[in-house]
Amino acid sequence: MRERITFAMIMGIITTGIISFTLISVNIGFVANFLVIWLKSWSMSYLIVIPAILLIGPRVQKVVDEMFKDTLTQEVD
């Protein structure tokens, strides 16, 4: 469980940082207070994405595992 939480936190930092930076720079450009706007957006999105990764991630992993179940057994054989 610690690994899953750590993964979610690190992945959340990276993805929300990249996405929020990109969307803000595209939508409003590099205005004078860009850094403040970006950090506010980044922190808000980070707080939302961590629970989402922790709640949705295991379900997505099960779907992916199911999709590639046959592939995995073929690789072992």
**pLDDT, tens digit only, all 77 positions of the chain:** 788 888 888 988 999 999 999 999 999 999 999 999 999 999 999 999 988 888 998 899 899 988 888 776 666 55
Measured distance between the N- and C-terminal CA atoms of the chain, rounded to whole angstroms: 31
Going along 17-71, which residue ranges are E strands? none
What total number of domains does the chain contain?
1
Contact yes or no for 45/16 (Cβ under 8 A): yes
**What per-residue confidence (pLDDT) applies to 67?**
87
Q: Specify the pLDDT at position 72.
A: 61
pTM of the predicted model, to two decimals?
Answer: 0.69
Task: Output the pLDDT for position 74.
Answer: 63
Q: Answer for the pair 34, 25: CB distance below 8 angstroms, yes or no.
A: yes
Residue 54, pLDDT score: 86
Range(s) of the domain holding residue 65: 2-76
